[in-house]
Chain A
Amino acid sequence: MKQLIAIMIKEKRDIWLSVLLGAVAGLTSVALFGLSGFLISKAALQPPLYIITVMAALVKFLGAAKAGSRYAERYVSHRATFTILSNLRVSFYEKLEPLAPQIFGRYRSGDLLARIVGDVETLQNFFLRVFYPPLVLVIVFLSTIFFTLFYSVWIALLLLAGLLLTGFVIPGLLALRQRAVKQGIRQRRADLSADAAELLYGFRDLKLHQTLTEKHAQLLHTADLYVKEQEKEGLSAAGGQALNTAAAMAVSFVVLALGAYFVTIGELDGLFLAMLVMISLNIFDNAVPMAVFPAHFEDTRQAAGRLFSIAAEEPPEIKTGMLEQKETFSIEWRDVTFTYPGEARPALKNVSISMPAGTKTAVVGPSGSGKSTILQLLLDMHQPEAGDILLGERSIKEVRPESIWSKTNVMLQANHFFYGTIRDNLQIAGDDVTESEMKESLRLTALPFGLDDPVLEKGENLSGGEKQRLAMARLFLKRAPVWLLDEPSSSLDTLTEKQIFKELFKKAEGNTLLLISHRLTGLEKMDQIVVMEHGQVVEAGTFAQLMAKKGYFYELKQIEKSVLND
């Protein structure tokens, strides 16, 4: 929470302005009602006409002031909110940036990013719904209470009690109840969503095994439980609101009764009775935003907790070693074992692979064999449990990951493209990349795009094959001496694949290259093929050697051959 306030407080001017304007709006509204109560009482006493005229003018002025300050308050507070959001994003990005990409390995859920964005968005409510409404409320109440002190201490005290009750006690109690209810809703919602997924995704199996009716009935039941839980929330919210209004009404009633009593015993001038009652009836409108305060408070507290706990993660230990090589280098795996956090089976078991400088290695194997993990470890996104990886002469344990990334051309299975143009996306390869180089790169990858063609979010206007080719085009512009490619052609047809591999091998001539592949075609030229299964190297050798050996690779190849190209 502290960090959050620190970020927010940067917008001091707008914050205080919002509070000030909010207080003015609240106070003018109270004043308006009080004055009209006073006006009508005064009028009943047949005063000189000018008093009525002056006061009527005052009423109009207050009305205009109220509307105007409300407008200004909304404007300023929303502007402040969005500026704070911007500050939050920047500040959070600064914290997250050094942690990436390793942090994505630690949180394996794919929705981590969406959650971060959602949480940051939740925090924008902090100022608008959590920070300043109570401030405004307290200012308006205290000023009013101060004003009423001139007429009756008891009525002032009553209003104070009303403030505590409607602004803090009742919303607080309601929030406690809602917290439990919300937990229930989340649970039921997850249940229903899971059940619905089972019904729809498993439809065929349910139907064929004649368990569809059962599942249908179960789903209706889960849906019912979910609605019941939501109902609880609705009722408790309505109950809280009613309770709050009842409290406000009760206070106003006591103000009237007590005021009337004071008039009868001569402690209060009857002229002010209507005014005090009108003030009391109106002032509680200011407590309305407090009804949503606890919920927002809770939401922002949780969001801030989650975010700052991610941001507070230890940045990976800063290593000092740098890869100095200008030229390509060898990669040597020595008996590496690795298990993903939270998994029982190791993803890699005693893997030793030797890739001399300038050689081309392919790693093949069925999905789940650990071949992609090879790349994760090479990029230092995960660290081996046992064994070591040597890059050139140096152990990966002492080399800065940034230095590995800058020396390698990496293509992952999922490549990100940014909203913008083809040019924007290619320029990432380097500021010094020229226009003609970009065009050449597009040509080599057989992409028919112009540099100014648009790229939508996540490249969703590109097909799978186009994405892979664009990623390759981007790599061609990077000019690092080592290539690490994870299934770079899985979405390409055989012909295009051949053509692009031809260009790739030209570009990578003399460079060390690691190709992770699901397919077994086009591997004849590799210096070495490593076959993996269940995290272990089953066999390794050239294409010809492996085929001659008639081992695991040979059999895989036979199956691939017998699968029709349809």
Chain B
Amino acid sequence: MKELRKWASEQKGIMAAIFILSILLGAVIVGQSYFLVHIIDEIFLQKASFDTIVPMLGFLLGFMLLRPAIAYVNARCGVAMSSNVKRRIRAALLEKWTKNPVQTAIQGQSGSKITVLMEAVDGLESYFREYMPQVVKASVVPLILLAAVLYTHVWSGLIMMITAPFIPLFYIIIGLKTQKKSEEQLDQLAAFSGQFLDTLQGLQTLKLFGRSAEQRERIQQSSLGFRDATMKVLKIAFASTFMLEFISTLSIGLIALNIGLQLVVFNSVSFVSAFFVLILAPEYYAALKELGAAFHTGRGSLGAAEKIKAELESVSQPVKWGSRPVPARPALELKQINFQYSGGFALKNINMKIPPGARAAIIGATGSGKTTLLNIAAGLFDPPEGEVLIDGQPRNLFSESSWFGEVSYISQHPHLFSGTIEENIRMGMPADTARQDIEAAAEKAGLSELLAELEEGLDTKVGEAGRGLSGGEKQRVALARAFLKQPSLVLFDEPTTGLDLKTERILQRSIDELARRASIVTVAHRLHTIQQADIIFLLKNGEIEAAGTHSDLMKSSEAYRAMTGGGAAG
């Protein structure tokens, strides 16, 4: 709620406009009633001619048409406010994500992030588009109507004042009760409502076991159970509206009786005043009821606001960069690196030296921090402690663009963007990169056969709306990106499972080729890769347990022997 109010308070101009419009609306209702009453009075009691009321009819029509006009402008304000807030929040979220690499790099959370960006932000709409304008309107209008009635006829005004608090009070009491009741029924409701989907999802299983026909009963039972549980909750809600309607009807009846008596018996009030009050009273109670209903409208946005708040409040640690260009074929060094994030994976006291052109392999059990290490080496995020050195200089002295110009990262699951294969290989390269160069890169990455099979070759659309490529094919596109870029550092997350033979061979050959002009750091799973490495880092629980060449480690490290030996026997 606090967040929502804060975002609303940023929209001061619109809120002020809504406030003024609400005052206007109250005035218009009063004006409309005033002229209506006077016209009828003139015609009915004063027996005036039609001509005398024409000017008043003109005013009345004006007021009557002003009402929807104001409502429309008010709605426009609500729409504008919700658009402003949605724009602002989406921009803030995106800003956060693009500048907050650690969070974004945790791939598993991407799905929930998209939900926040889409559903949660859209979930704010009802609050800003409906609730806020409604609340302002429903708080201002009754006050103006009350003032008008008090001015005209004090007694009626007093009745209105005394009865008014019962309406919001009832809403609150009943709202709480319904909420409690629905919470009690929540599990039951969820179970009942999920049953239909559950059965449909299991239809294949049911069929294979020959048990699908009897499910009809089960669906009916659970649906009726759902009905009965829901009705229990709804009954309270309906009873609340009943009570509210009853209260307002009773109050109006009271006012009517009072002015009726005063009109007939005591002659202490004029027809005009009496009728005026009688028209305003229902408007007054209707506005109050709207205020109560508004609270229900606003509720829905609370959960959405919570989700957005959590996302915006997460800590961000942008990577720092400088302005120096990265030298050709740099040496890379990680020095005393410590790292941990909320997921719990940590790196402790990491020291690694990768001379220009070297081939390094990182091995270790799942969860030992290998991928995190690769991400730090890539410059995707800064370690909170420790340093990354390029040719002995801290990396934050060098410029971001010259660094990323020298790095390629071939992950286990490279992302293909919507577009053609060519665009996917070209990614980020200068616009004048020749088509031949792309073709050459694709060929080196072993894509020629696939491209020949495709009618449109390099121009085949891939990604979301296009053709799906297999995991092996995607990795080959990532390789082609690397061949085109010709980096001096290649980071490679080797597949954990066996691929098809062809991709296996292509990967090996390509890495050998890239190694001719680049240093290579591989998170390795294949014995072959490890044996080829100039230096192997064995990671255990975030620490480097052993480092050296294959023969060094075979001699010195028990853990290494166990790991590689186990692999060979597996």
Interface residues of A (CB under 8 A from B): 32-33, 36, 39-41, 43-44, 46-47, 49, 52, 55-56, 59-60, 63-64, 66-68, 70-71, 74-75, 78-79, 82-83, 85-86, 89-90, 93-94, 96-97, 100-101, 104, 113-114, 116-117, 120, 189, 192-194, 196-205, 207-213, 216, 219-220, 223-224, 227-228, 230-231, 234-235, 237-239, 241-246, 249-250, 252-253, 256-257, 260-261, 263-264, 270-271, 273-274, 277-278, 366-369, 379, 402, 405-406, 410, 412, 415-419, 428-430, 457-458, 474, 478, 518, 521, 533, 552, 555-556, 559-566
Cα-based distance from A401 to B524 in the complex (angstroms): 47
* B470, CB-defined interface residue at 8 Å: yes
Interface centre among B94, B105, B215, B246 (most CB of A within 10 A): B94
Cα-based distance from A231 to B122 in the complex (angstroms): 12
In the complex formed, the residue of B with least CB distance to A79 is B231
Residue interface mask B24-50, A partner, CB < 8 A = 1: 000000000000100110011101111
Write the nearest CB–CB distance from A109 to chain B, whole angstroms.
Answer: 13
* B79, CB-defined interface residue at 8 Å: yes
B253 touches A83 (CB 8 A): no
A120 touches B196 (CB 8 A): yes
Which residues of the partner chain B approach A405 to less than 8 Å between Cβ atoms? 207-210
A564 touches B82 (CB 8 A): no
B204 touches A566 (CB 8 A): no
Please tell me the number of chain B residues within 8 Å of chain A, measured between CB atoms: 155
* B76, CB-defined interface residue at 8 Å: yes
Contact residues, B173-230 vs A (CB, 8 A): 191, 194-213, 215-216, 219-220, 223-224, 226-227, 230
A416 touches B201 (CB 8 A): yes
Write the nearest CB–CB distance from B475 to chain A, whole angstroms.
Answer: 12
B498 touches A560 (CB 8 A): yes
Among A75, A120, A263, point to the contact of B44 (Cβ < 8 A): A263
Cα-based distance from A116 to B86 in the complex (angstroms): 31
Residue interface mask B445-477, A partner, CB < 8 A = 1: 000000000000000000111000011100000
B566 touches A565 (CB 8 A): yes
Among B216, B264, B409, point to the contact of A204 (Cβ < 8 A): B409
B264 touches A46 (CB 8 A): yes
Stretch in contact with the other chain, from B3-11, B96-104, B346-354: B96-104
B380 touches A207 (CB 8 A): yes
Q: List 17 A-B contacts (CB under 8 A).
A: A41-B271, A59-B256, A71-B241, A83-B227, A86-B224, A96-B200, A198-B417, A200-B110, A210-B404, A227-B83, A227-B87, A246-B69, A264-B43, A366-B500, A416-B204, A428-B211, A566-B496
* B53, CB-defined interface residue at 8 Å: yes
Among A533, A560, A562, point to the contact of B500 (Cβ < 8 A): A533
Which residues of the partner chain A approach B39 to less than 8 Å between Cβ atoms? 256, 260
B253 touches A93 (CB 8 A): no
B50 touches A260 (CB 8 A): yes
Which residues of the partner chain B approach A40 to less than 8 Å between Cβ atoms? 256, 259-260, 263, 271, 274-275, 278
* B393, CB-defined interface residue at 8 Å: no
* B525, CB-defined interface residue at 8 Å: yes
In the complex formed, the residue of B with least CB distance to A276 is B40
Cα-based distance from A234 to B128 in the complex (angstroms): 12
Which residues of the partner chain A approach B525 to less than 8 Å between Cβ atoms? 563-564, 566
Cα-based distance from A89 to B471 in the complex (angstroms): 40
Give 8 nearest A-B pairs by CB, closest first.
A209-B428, A63-B249, A238-B75, A86-B223, A82-B227, A202-B415, A270-B44, A242-B72
Stretch in contact with the other chain, from B56-64, B153-161, B164-172: B56-64
A273 touches B44 (CB 8 A): yes
Which residues of the partner chain A approach B501 to less than 8 Å between Cβ atoms? 366, 552, 555-556, 559
Write the nearest CB–CB distance from B241 to chain A, whole angstroms.
Answer: 7
A564 touches B216 (CB 8 A): no
Write the nearest CB–CB distance from B448 to chain A, whole angstroms.
Answer: 16
Among B97, B209, B242, point to the contact of A68 (Cβ < 8 A): B242
